[in-house]
Amino acid sequence: MKTICDFNFKDEKALIRVDFNVPLENGRVTDSTRIRSAIPTISKIIKDGGACILMSHLGRPNGFEDKFSLIQIKAELDSLLKIETKFCEDCVGSIAEEMSNNLLMGEVLLLENLRFYNEETEGDDEFSKKLSKLATCFVNDAFGTAHRPHASTTVVAKYFENKFFGKLLEKEVLALKKVMNNGNSPILAVLGGSKISSKIPIIENIIDKVDDIIIGGGMSFTFIKALGGKIGLSIHEDSMMEKALGIIELAKQKNTKIHLPVDVVCAKEFKEGAESKIFPIDSIPNEYEGLDSGPESVEKFKRIIMSSKTILWNGPVGVFELESFSKGTKEIGIAIAESTKSGAFSLVGGGDSVAAVKKFNLENEVSYVSTGGGAMLESLEGKILPGISALKK
């Protein structure tokens, strides 16, 4: 990995792919996590005596749409960088080239939304070439889009001799490596969420890299039904039952322990405040559905978490969005935080898991929270991300 720490950016203009795809409300940023994550890279280049040209997408616009303009995040960026940045109302063409040419060392230029052009998502070569004209070197610091072979994430890299991993991208790659390649044993994967089908490729890829796999949340019911249990109205995928049994068999061959819930908090209605009862997970009455991990399951999972040295958490173990059914996910998060405090390395990734650690104020209590949902999932599936391979060539 050629990182920005391997280079002095004095008198260089760096084109940086950042991920500023942040939530907005009335034109204001409501969660600046992704902008904050890019600050160390930008600051390093400015401190060296270089200039930064930032490019990002925002949402899924259809052509030029004001509601997706990156001008809306400029105030937040200025506040975090503690400088007045410049804004270009285009990302390619004569205006962008002129503003880039006139950019002084120590200054930062934010380009308009890349996805105002279809050429960005099409990975268009000519569009990539136009972007490359704006700078002397390229830095990718957008892990969240590294799995997309888009113009700004992948194709543009071929036009630069000097291309680097930004600090965030480097941290993401190293955190994943720590889990997948060189983590201290016992290594644990906590996998949750509603569907087993979306996690099958991950399980198959990590099954011989980890010692234990906790399977919780909605996806556990497919396993329980496949094993002959009665799951009532609980969410499951009949088409995946054979696959679930195959995973249990594969785990035995690989000497990897699969841990399923033993009890579950159930209700007749999927709503906040619904009257709940606890049942063994394989004996749920017909009119009930499982909505959270039961107390016995949580205690079982906590013991495994506390004895692990490397932990990957991807997916909640209950409907944590509803307060009535959030206890299991919260307890799992607290246990991972405690295990981290005792010396374990913990990586949390995937939209719902990240939302859970934020909801329960645990994001500073784990080792690393990934900024890339889809990119992280594809990495866990063993795929080589195009945005990363483009930097290595």
* pLDDT tens string 73-105: 999 999 999 999 999 999 999 999 999 999 999
Could you give the angle at the alpha carbon of 11 between the alpha carbons of 7 and 16, nearest 5°? 65
At 244-262, the pLDDT tens digits run 999 999 999 999 999 999 9
Q: Is the pTM of this model over 0.85?
A: yes
Q: Is 374 labeled as catalytic in the residue annotation?
A: yes
- Is the peptide bond preceding residue 186 cis, with omega within 30 degrees of 0? yes
Whole-number pLDDT of residue 181: 87
Fold held by 4-170 = Rossmann fold (3.40.50)
Q: Which of 86, 195, 302, 309 is catalytic?
A: 195
Task: Return the C-alpha torsion angle 252, 253, 256, 259, nearest 10.
Answer: -20
Q: Residue range 228-255: average pLDDT?
A: 96
Give me the mean pLDDT over the 125-139 stretch. Answer: 97
Amino acid at 54: L
User: Is-catalytic flag, 351?
Assistant: yes
What pLDDT digit, counting tens, does each position of 305-354 carry?
999 999 999 999 999 999 999 999 999 999 999 999 999 999 998 768 88
User: Which of these is catalytic: 13, 17, 34, 330?
Assistant: 34
- Residue spans of the domains in the chain: they are 4-170, 183-380
Tokens of 363: 């994001």
Q: Among this protein's residues, is 195 annotated catalytic?
A: yes
Structure tokens at 138: 């390229």
Query: pLDDT averaged over the chain?
Result: 94
For residue 381, the model assigns a pLDDT of 86
Closest residue by Cα to residue 329 from 318, 337, 341: 318
pLDDT given at position 308:
97
pLDDT at residue 331 in the model: 96
From first CA to last CA, the distance across the chain in angstroms is 10
Q: What gap in Å lies between CA 114 and CA 153, rounded to an integer?
A: 11
> Residues 91, 131: contact at Cβ < 8 Å?
yes
- Longest alpha-carbon distance in the chain: 70
**Residue 53 falls in which region: left (phi positive, over 0), alpha (psi -120 to 50) or beta:** beta
pLDDT digits (tens, 9 = 90+) for 13-71: 999 999 999 999 999 999 998 999 999 999 999 999 999 999 999 999 999 999 999 99
Report whether pLDDT(2) > 90.
Answer: yes
Section 152-168 average pLDDT? 96
Report the pLDDT value the prediction gives residue 49, as an integer from 0 to 100: 98
Catalytic residue chosen out of the listed positions 129, 351, 358, 359: 351
So what's the architecture of 183-380 in CATH? 3-Layer(aba) Sandwich (3.40)
With pLDDT > 90 as the criterion, what percentage of the chain qualifies? Answer: 88
pLDDT (mean) for 201-216: 93
Q: What confidence score (pLDDT) does residue 237 get? A: 95
Cα–Cα distance for residue pair 245/349, rounded to 1 Å:
26
Residue 377's identity, in one-letter code, is L
**Hey, do 4-170 and 183-380 end up sharing a CATH topology, with the first three levels equal?**
yes
Please confirm, yes or no, whether 192 is among the known catalytic residues.
Answer: no
Rounded CA-CA distance 90/179 in Å is 40
